[in-house]
Structure 1
Amino acid sequence: MNVTTPTVLLDQSRTLSKIDQMVQKARALGMGLRPHFKTHQSAEVARWFLAAGVRKATVSSVQMARYFVDAGWNDLTIAFPINYREWPEISQLADRAHINVILTCPEALPLLLYHQGANLGIFLKIDVGYHRTGFDPQSKIAITHCLDQLQSHPNYTFKGFLSHAGHTYACRTRQAIIQVHGQALGIMQRLKEIYHPKHPDLILSMGATPSCSVADNWQEVDEMRPGNFVFYDLTQVAIGSCEVTDVSVCLACPVVAKHGDRKTIVVYGGGVHLSKDRLAWRGTTIYGRPVKLDDQGWADPDDESYVTSLSQEHGVVQASDALFQTVQIGDLIGILPVHSCMMCDLMKSYHLLPDGAVVSMMSKEY
């Protein structure tokens, strides 16, 4: 494997399989699929979705929306509170594609009404329990007022209610995911029941990879917006969204030191490559799990080895006896990430397996 510095390896066959599974699930449930592209941030990976029949997507920034509009996507939801300092660019994008934005709180309504000229779809973000942002679903007066104001605005089209059950990331079993999803679903269904008579075209849009991966009850939901599922990671494994064999990215890292007295392996691969997202695992805190590499991919991780610390460029692996004995300085080992979205955002390109092609991502300068 021709790798000299930390490099993201992407198992294309696993990724294509995950895309196909989610497409088939949405189709079987009678829902649209609007996958979140913030995980892969790649026009090439987006083409894999296109080949599977996906025609609309979700992004997390205006910059990312511009990148994918330039790549030919013409139906995007920017699933982040509106940054009004970027309004001129939002308006420009709305002239080139169908753009949806989200209104996240009553306090933001005056600014939205003040800014005119852009034809936009508007989702109301509903707080279904994550408590990051969103309308309180019990605040019917505030919701009704916002909808009435939007309906009177000639440039805005109310699309429906959107939610992200981010608190599923605190779950550690599939049953817990299903329970949280059920609570979120109930909130969204009640809103649809209340507002559908006056707004018959409204849709329900729900996201979060754990619930999209595990839950089967999506009654009344019109579209799902999973993102991380395209690669998965150790957090999703811990949550119960997937198995470790479903993770389709890892960071190939050169081995630069070994210390036999404490069974540690030091790799060129630190916080600037993996991020410092961490995970509670078997009574300790880990920053990744090492895997043996070959030209076709990687083996399953052993249960006794893990990344115990990260500094800027260094990663320290607490190794099992077997791993320590077989890995030598100058070798490559892979690190399965705790959070694949963050790792990929830091690294900005992929080395495809098995053919070795390099796939680019949206650059920081885009």
Structure 2
Amino acid sequence: MKITRPTLIIDEVKARKNIAFMADKAKKYNLLFRPHFKTHQSATVARWFREMGVNHIAVSSLAMAHYFYQHGWDDIHIAFPYNLLEHQKLNELATHIKLTVSIESQQALTHLKSHMKTPIHYMIKTDVGYGRTGIDASNWESILSLADQRNSICQFSGLMAHAGHTYDAHGTDEIEKAHKTSLQKLELLVNRFIDPPFVSYGDTPSCSVSENFNLISEFRCGNFVYYDLTQVAVGSCTVDQIAVAMACPIVAEHYDRNEVVIYGGAVHFSKDFVMSPHKHFGQIVTFNQNGWAVLEGVYLNKISQEHGIIHLPKNVDKNQFSLGHIIGILPVHSCLTSDLMMGQETLSGHPIDKMMRI
């Protein structure tokens, strides 16, 4: 590896397998597959999706929508609440592609209708239990009212939901329980419509493990392309399915306290952590000809801005942790790590084209 500073390494084989898994599952249940691209934010990785037959995508910002438009994508859903202040740029982009925005209030829809000059689609953000944003699914009067306000410019395209509370699960049974209650809330809402609306649904845990997608029209998950240690802890995947690892140089040795320091900290990983088996910020791996291998019991224990501290168990071969050595770390949250890292490449050294951070 010709690496001199923190670099995010993508295992293309694993990523493609993850994409194929979710694409096949959507096809199995006759669902439209609209993957969320906020995890990878990459034109390179987007091409892997395109090769699997994907033509519809979701993003988390207008800037991201514009980036993927520039790389040939023409059916994009901005799966983030409509930002009133960006209506001019939204109008401009909508002249080129089929663009969908997310509405979660009367004020937002009123503004959209009065400021859009170009046809645009809107979906109503519905809260099915996560509590982050959206109209509570039980508030069917407000949701039906918004759905009935379509016109020749602003066209209602359905409901959208994100069961983000599945990320609090500990195992597949808890994922299924959260998923089931989310679907029950959606069912009560959908039954209020004369004509059943299109329903876009997306959280990686549910989409990864469940086999019940009644009422759902579209998969809109995203993290699955890389997965991460959070998904392992939740029960969405195995460690072997994680398709990204951060490569970091070792810059200091402190064997008197069984620690080494890496060039890699919060500005590279974020400060997300997991508590399995104890609090840590990443799982240590060693790179080999086939990718990487997990070093059991070795974790990224502490991080500051650029520093990362790895505690070495007594039985670990310290020769793997000498100055200048490149060590790998599986991230806790691959979406944030990928967002933070401009330096990305595949295991074979091919650069990954990524959206510039704003």
Q: TM-score range by the shorter chain?
A: over 0.9
How far the C-alpha of 1:360 sits from its partner, in A, is 1.7
State the alpha-carbon separation in 2 of the partners of residues 301 and 358 from structure 1. 26
2:284 counterpart of 1:286 = no
Question: Residue 160 of structure 2 aligns to which amino acid in structure 1?
Answer: L
Deviations 1:26-70 (A, max 9, x none): 101111110000000001100100000111000000000000011
How far the C-alpha of 1:359 sits from its partner, in A, is 1.2
Percent identity of the aligned residues? 40
Q: Which segment is superposed worse, 288-297 or 262-271?
A: 288-297
State the alpha-carbon separation in 2 of the partners of residues 34 and 301 from structure 1. 35
2:172 counterpart of 1:179 = no
Q: 1:29 touches 1:218 (CA, 8 Å); kept in 2?
A: yes
How far the C-alpha of 1:204 sits from its partner, in A, is 0.6
What residue is the counterpart of 2:106 in the other structure? 106
How far the C-alpha of 1:295 sits from its partner, in A, is 4.1
2:296 counterpart of 1:316 = no
RMSD: 1.3
State the alpha-carbon separation in 2 of the partners of residues 96 and 266 from structure 1. 49
2:297 counterpart of 1:297 = no
What residue is the counterpart of 1:350 in the other structure? 344
State the alpha-carbon separation in 2 of the partners of residues 258 and 97 from structure 1. 53
- Which runs of no fewer than 5 residues in structure 2 stay unpaired? none
Q: 1:10 touches 1:249 (CA, 8 Å); kept in 2?
A: yes
Normalised TM-score (structure 2): 0.97
Q: 2:138 touches 2:189 (CA, 8 Å); kept in 1?
A: no
- Which runs of no fewer than 5 residues in structure 1 stay unpaired? none
**Equivalent residues in 2 for 1:261-276 (5 A)?**
261-276=256-271
State the alpha-carbon separation in 1 of the partners of residues 104 and 173 from structure 2. 29
How far the C-alpha of 1:301 sits from its partner, in A, is 3.3
Normalised TM-score (structure 1): 0.94
**Equivalent residues in 2 for 1:2-41 (5 A)?**
2-41=2-41
What residue is the counterpart of 1:193 in the other structure? 191
Q: 1:349 touches 1:360 (CA, 8 Å); kept in 2?
A: no
State the alpha-carbon separation in 2 of the partners of residues 301 and 344 from structure 1. 22
Q: 2:285 touches 2:294 (CA, 8 Å); kept in 1?
A: yes
Q: 1:106 touches 1:135 (CA, 8 Å); kept in 2?
A: no
2:121 counterpart of 1:132 = no
**Equivalent residues in 2 for 1:1-366 (5 A)?**
1-148=1-148, 150-151=149-150, 153-195=151-193, 197=194, 199=195, 202-282=197-277, 284-302=278-296, 304-327=297-320, 328-353=322-347, 355-364=348-357
How far the C-alpha of 1:350 sits from its partner, in A, is 1.8
Question: Residue 155 of structure 1 aligns to which amino acid in structure 2?
Answer: I
How far the C-alpha of 1:119 sits from its partner, in A, is 1.0
**Secondary structure at 1:64 match in 2:** helix
Where in structure 1 do 4 or more consecutive aligned residues deviate above 3 Å?
none
In the comparison of the two structures, how many residue pairs are matched? 357
State the alpha-carbon separation in 2 of the partners of residues 107 and 170 from structure 1. 32
Question: Residue 300 of structure 2 aligns to which amino acid in structure 1?
Answer: V
Question: Residue 319 of structure 1 aligns to which amino acid in structure 2?
Answer: L
